[in-house]
Amino acid sequence: MSESLRPLAPLDSPALCLLLMAGYGGLEQTRRLLACCVRNGVEIVELCAPFPNAFTDGEVVRNAHSKALARGTVWQDLLPLIREFSSSLHIVALVDYSHVFAREGNAPVLRALKQAGAAAVLPHGLPPRAREAFYATALESGLPVVGTLYLSSPEPVRLRVLAQSGGFIYLVSRFGRSGGSASDSSQIHREIARLKTLTSLPVALGFGLKSPSDVAQAYRQGADIAIIGSRACEVIAQAQAQQECPEAALENYIRYLKRSE
């Protein structure tokens, strides 16, 4: 099996994945937040390179993008963070296609992420016309590409994504902007069960998960990974706004989430 098609391993299941915006509050704060994740048993982090026009994100995450960009954060700033923490965390680099790959080229970015120790890449806004070239380059680089599916994804799309993906499959629990509520529980359960008959990759559930009960429900629905995005950003933003310690706030939130285990 090609390295780019392998699942994340070793991975305890169920696992928790948090979204962190690189450069939000400064890169040193990002480093401290990653260390907080390690200390508190988070296995996977989506480390996002900030980009403008984040059309799938809600207000909280868009604000984090804007503030990180205002500090001059670029995708290359992920590399030393990945190098430092890749032995302790599975770091999935969330990188926008238009803002980074279309400008820098697929191969240089994917190679740099792979060499730094990224576990996988999650491309945002990858247009259909660019998909085949992107996946071919990722295959050459040996960097897994996390596949994204929706409950409404047509069968041909589902099968193509499953065939090309590595790391894990990200099942979006609802359509729209991040931070909303999830879809019907039984529908999600059926879809996860179906995916597991078609792939050996772990299945992650995200969009709308915020509380221990949300995480516990995701696991009951069959998800191997529960992804917390907007709420993790919101916890950090609230701590900063109140001039409190973001790492302490995140640590308390992780402990709160782990009540589901």
pLDDT digits (tens, 9 = 90+) for 174-201: 644 444 444 578 899 999 999 999 999 9
Give the pLDDT score at 159.
95
**Spatial separation of the C-alpha atoms in residues 176 and 128, rounded to whole Å:** 19
Considering only the top CATH level, what class is 12-145+207-260? alpha beta
Strand intervals (E) in the chain: 15-21, 44-48, 90-96, 120-124, 147-150, 169-172, 203-206, 225-228
Degrees to nearest 5, angle at CA 96 with 210 and 239: 40
**Spatial separation of the C-alpha atoms in residues 128 and 135, rounded to whole Å:** 11
Chain centre distance of CA 177 = 15
Band (pLDDT 50/70/90 cuts) for residue 45 is very high
**By three-state DSSP, how is residue 23 classified?**
coil
CA distances from 23 to 32, 37, 70, 113, 157 (A): 11, 16, 9, 17, 34
The HSE-up count of residue 72 (CA atoms within 13 Å, CB side) is 0
**Strands ordered across the beta sheet of 44-48:** 120-124, 90-96, 44-48, 15-21, 225-228, 203-206, 169-172, 147-150
Domain-wise residue ranges, the chain: 12-145+207-260
* Tens digits of residue pLDDT in 53-96: 888 888 999 999 999 999 999 999 999 999 999 999 999 999 99
Give the pLDDT score at 176.
42
> Per the structure block, which two tokens stand in for 53?
């026009």
Looking at 9-18, 45-54, 70-79, 158-167, which range is the least confident one?
A: 9-18
